Structures are given as C-alpha cells and as structure tokens.
Structure 1
Amino acid sequence: MMLPKGTTVAVADGEKLNLFHNSGDEAGLKLAPAKHADVDDAIQGSGSRQNSSGNPDASQSSEDGFSAGIVAMLNKGVLDGNIDGLVVIAAPRALGEMRKHYHKALSAKLLGEVAKDLTGHSISDIEAAIEAA
C-alpha cells in the first residue's frame, strides 16, 4: 500500500494507541511518531458485549470502550480537517469494534486497514506491514 505524504497511521489494540504520520512520500514510506490527545475510554462500546450477570467480562467491555474512544478521536480529527488520509492497523477484535463507530467522513478518508496487532512493534515492522498490504 502506497501512502501520500501526511497520511495518518493509527496503530491500536484494545488498550493502547500509537499515531504516526507519513513524513515520506508515496515512493518512500517513512513513519514519524505523532502526538495525540488521551483517548476517552469511557465511551460505550457497540453493545455486543455488555456487562451483565450472563456476560461478566468487564475487561472486554473496557477494551470495546477504548476502541470506540480511539474512533471518536479520529472522527474528530477528520471532521476538524486535521486528517487528510488514514490507515488503521489494529488487532482484529479491536478493528471490528472500531469499524462500528466510523463516521461517514472518516470512511471517506480511510485509505486502508490492516487487521494485525502491531502496537508493541517497531516502526520498521509497521512500515513493512503497510508496504505488504
């Protein structure tokens, strides 16, 4: 996958988010870390796994809320004009939850997705995954 200069790359799982910007060009991907606001993990997940006596998994509910919070932040970035192109790399479970919260404007800016957990990996591993996609 070739990414234009300035593309935002979000690398996430249910507990951590790393943002990068492509400081290279389409021919030469070069990711640079980007600062981001704290993720509001108090946002309610999609509802597919809510806590109850029949489903007491508070950890999964927390991860779903974090994933929804990531997308809320990305949606705001797109709507505010701060994100021109976006690639989302996330653990498969987190990516599935994130997709449920995409705004139409975010979907229009989405250049690609990679369903892989790369949050603890090096920038070169992330770049390799994008180039292979």
Structure 2
Amino acid sequence: MSSTDPTAIRVLAVTAEDLVAAVEANERRDADAVLRVTPPFSGRMRARLHLDGAEHGYESTQPLHIPPERFVSEVPPAPTPDETADTLRNDPDETYTQERHRERHEAVLSAWRQQLKEATLDAAHIETPSGEHEVRVTWLG
C-alpha cells in the first residue's frame, strides 16, 4: 500500500556511491546535495542523489530531502588539494611534482571515500512533516 504519509517508510535503500557523492559535493562545493525519496511512500523506498531546490511535478505531497550526514556516524573532513600538496612537500622521502601531487591526492580521496562507506549506519532518523521518523537502511552496491 502506498501513501502520502512518509512515516509509512520502514526501510530506505541507498547506494554507497550516492551517499559518498552527496557528502563529497557538500564538502567540496557546498552543493546542497541530499538523498531524495519521492512519493507515493511505502514500506520500502529508494533514496537517490539529488540537488536540493525547487521540486517540479509534485502537487500536494513533496519528496523528502534527507541530508547525507544522517546516514553516517561521522563525516571526516574532505581532504583538499592544498593539504595534499603540503603533506607531499613536507615528506623528506619524496620530491614534489604535479604528477605525484595528483596521484597522492587521488589516493587520499579514495581512502576518504572508503572511510565514509565504513561509517554507514543501519538506521537513520529522517524529518517528516509530522516529526522525526526512524527507518532501517539497506546499503546497495
């Protein structure tokens, strides 16, 4: 049975890639990325990557926009290229080159993304028009 009531949701399915992309977009560009759940609502729903903003095509029941931080225990600060460059330049065993900087930063970002995936929660609290509602989270991918 589907509903206009988001408290009908018991389980949200989320891809780890959507979660990481949303957190990274917010950390690096303050993009207002969210995980969106669109009506009609039912017991098991999918939350997908979305940029927050005006919704089109929804007359009365609006989609839920869930901050990605709700799905992880902790969001570590995203590494910046400048931090990576400083670390590389301060490493006595390495000589700074643009190629080493790029490779090192890719590795640091990859480790940060993995850290986010390892911090995922099995349940999340989502805001609904009638208040906070807890759902189980199923991770895809």
TM normalised by structure 1 equals 0.34
Structure with the larger strand share: 2
Q: TM-score, normalised by structure 2?
A: 0.33
